[in-house]
C-alpha cells in the first residue's frame, strides 16, 4: 500500500530542489550562526528540544519520511523556533550537495534504521565511507553524536570510529548509556520504556588531524536500502 504524500506548506520546510543550485544557509536562517545537522529526525522530538537548548546554532533536520518531516515542521511552527528547518532528503546526497567542507559544527544520528538481520547489515547508514563523508563536512572540533538501541550496531560504529583517523572520543568510555542533557528521541523513549538500553557515542573531529582527505565525497546517489524511493511531493 502506498502512503499518501502530505503537502508540507510550513515556512520551516526547505525544498530539496534548492540543492541543485546550492543553498546559502546564512540566507535560509538570516544569520551566520554555526550549523548542525540531524540525520533521520523522524517526528522531530529530539531536534525540537536540542534547537531550544542551543538558540545560537542553526539546525537542519532531515528525513526521507514525508510524514515525519511534516510532523517535525508542525512542532517547529507551534514552538516558533527560528533556528530549525526541515528538509526531506537522503543523507548521503545532502552531505555531498548541501554542505561545503568543514561547514558543520555538529552531526546527530539517533536510532538509525537497525537492519538487524546479518545479511542486511550492509544497508546500515553508518559505515566507513559515510563516516569519512561526515568527517569531511565537520568543522575542526565539530561534534558527531551517534545513538542506537542495537548493541552490535553500536559496537560496529565504535570500531569504525576508533579506526578512522580524525575522530576523537569525548566520553570516559567509547559507548555510554547516559548522556546528561542529551534530549530523548521518540525511538529512544520507546526502547527506554521497555527497559532496553540506548548506546550513545560522542566524538569530535580532532583538531590535530589536519586536512581531511576528500575520500568519501565522491558523487553520491541515494543508495539501495536507505528507503530512498518515495513519491514526489509538489513542494519538493
Ligand atoms: C528508526 S527511525 C528513528 C527516528 C528518530 N531519529 C528517533 O530516534 O526517533 C530512522 C529514521 O531515519 C530515516 N532515514 C533512514 N535512512 C535515511 C537516509 N539515508 N537519509 C535520511 N533519513 C533516513 C527514516 O526515514 C526514519 O525516519
The tens digit of pLDDT for each residue in 112-139 reads: 999 999 999 999 999 999 999 999 999 9
Instruction: State whether the beta carbon of 112 lies less than 6 angstroms from ligand 1.
Output: yes
Domains with residue ranges and CATH for the chain: 13-209 (3.40.50.150)
CA of 210 to the centre of ligand 1 (A): 31
Q: Could you say which residues of the chain have pLDDT below 50? A: 214-236
The protein residue with its alpha carbon nearest to ligand 1, atom 1, reads 113
Half-sphere exposure of 31 (CA within 13 A, CB side): 11
Instruction: State whether the beta carbon of 186 lies less than 6 angstroms from ligand 1.
Output: yes
The protein residue with its alpha carbon nearest to ligand 1, atom 16, reads 226
CA of 87 to the centre of ligand 1 (A): 13
Whole-number Å distance between alpha carbons of 188 and 57: 23
Q: Is 65 helix (H, G, I), strand (E, B) or coil?
A: coil
Residue 4, pLDDT score: 85
CA of 40 to the centre of ligand 1 (A): 3
Residue 15, pLDDT score: 94
The protein residue with its alpha carbon nearest to ligand 1, atom 12, reads 40
Residue 125, pLDDT score: 97
Residue 212, pLDDT score: 58
Element (H or E) spanning 70, and its range? helix 66-79
Residue 211, pLDDT score: 58
CA of 208 to the centre of ligand 1 (A): 32
Q: Which residues are catalytic?
A: 113
Element (H or E) spanning 58, and its range? strand 58-63
Q: Which residues of 106-124 are buried (b: 16+ CB within 10 A; e: fewer)?
A: bbbbbbbeebeeeeeeeeb
Instruction: State whether the beta carbon of 16 lies less than 6 angstroms from ligand 1.
Output: no
Amino acid at each position: 500500500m502506498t502512503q499518501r504524500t502530505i503537502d508540507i506548506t510550513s515556512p520551516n520546510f526547505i525544498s530539496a530542489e534548492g540543492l541543485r543550485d546550492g543553498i546559502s544557509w546564512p540566507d535560509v536562517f538570516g544569520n551566520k550562526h554555526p550549523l548542525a545537522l540531524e540525520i533521520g529526525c523522524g517526528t522531530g522530538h529530539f531536534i525540537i528540544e536540542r534547537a531550544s537548548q542551543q538558540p545560537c546554532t542553526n539546525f537542519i533536520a532531515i528525513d526521507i519520511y514525508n510524514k515525519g518531516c511534516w510532523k517535525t515542521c508542525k512542532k517547529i511552527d507551534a514552538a516558533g523556533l527560528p533556528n530549525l528547518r526541515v528538509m526531506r532528503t537522503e543523507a548521503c546526497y545532502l552531505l555531498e550537495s548541501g554542505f561545503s567542507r568543514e561547514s558543520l559544527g555538529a552531526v546527530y544520528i539517533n536510532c538509525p534504521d537497525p537492519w538487524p538481520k546479518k545479511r542486511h547489515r550492509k544497508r546500515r547508514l553508518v559505515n566507513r565511507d559515510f563516516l569519512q563523508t561526515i568527517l569531511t563536512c565537520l568543522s575542526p572540533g565539530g561534534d558527531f553524536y551517534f545513538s542506537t538501541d542495537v548493541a552490535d550496531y553500536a559496537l560496529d560504529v565504535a570500531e569504525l570510529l576508533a579506526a578512522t583517523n580524525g575522530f576523537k572520543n569525548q566520553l570516559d568510555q567509547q559507548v555510554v548509556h547516559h548522556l546528561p542533557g542529551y534530549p530523548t528521541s521518540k525511538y529512544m523513549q520507546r526502547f527506554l520504556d521497555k527497559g532496553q538500553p540506548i548506546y550513545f557515542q560522542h566524538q569530535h573531529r580532532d583538531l590535530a588531524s589536519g586536512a581531511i582527505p576528500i575520500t568519501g565525497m565522491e558523487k553520491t546517489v541515494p543508495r539501495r536500502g536507505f528507503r530512498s524511493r518515495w513519491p514526489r511531493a509538489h513542494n519538493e
